[in-house]
Amino acid sequence: MIYGYAHVSSKKQLHGNSLEEQAATLTANGASTITAEQFTGKTTSRPKLKALIDSLQAGDTLMVTKLDRLARTVTEGIELIRALFKRDVKVHVLNIGLLENTSMGNFFITTLLAVAELERSMIIERTQAGKEVARTKAGFREGRPPIRKEKIQLAITLLEEYPYSQVERMTGISRSTLVRYRRRQKECAKKN
């Protein structure tokens, strides 16, 4: 049986990747059932995908329109595909083709992994080169820019009336930073 999986990271996904468009494409290519899910790129929990994968049997096919619909990274996708291969499940990525646990299927997966590793290494190299150039410039400071004292003081004052989550939304200062500054303020008050 062919199972389709569609996902978007936002309700208004661009470039022809809406849930409806993916579902239509998957159905047109033979998927019997479609599982659709919305999650952000930062979210690792995909309960519908996990449930679908757990239900797949030997001989089934998991179909997606593109590899990035199945996984956040190529490496994650390859790991998932290899796990499915071990269970005799085929993976059909419509813009790539049918991937099976064959010599050619594994060659293709290995090639994808090599390209992903090369891309990752190149990104790291470019980032390091950019940092080296930035370090030569006057006024360079590595890390996040400091938060103005007035903004911190406002946030700490707001904590007297509102919970951390609300102050975090109102000021844009993370909870951990608020806790750290509040702790420092209390320690300074004890010393004086």
**pLDDT tens track for 54-85:** 999 999 999 999 877 887 777 787 888 889 99
Average confidence score pLDDT of the chain: 85
Given this model, what pLDDT does residue 33 score? Answer: 95
Q: Which residues are catalytic?
A: 9
- What global pTM score does this model have? 0.58
Q: Angle CA(111)–CA(23)–CA(51) in degrees, nearest 5?
A: 75
**What confidence tens digit (pLDDT) does each residue in 90-146 have?**
999 898 888 888 888 888 877 877 777 788 789 889 999 988 888 888 888 887 788
pLDDT above 50 (res 14): no
The CA distances from residue 25 to 32, 40, 139, 163, 164, in Å, are 12, 22, 52, 46, 44
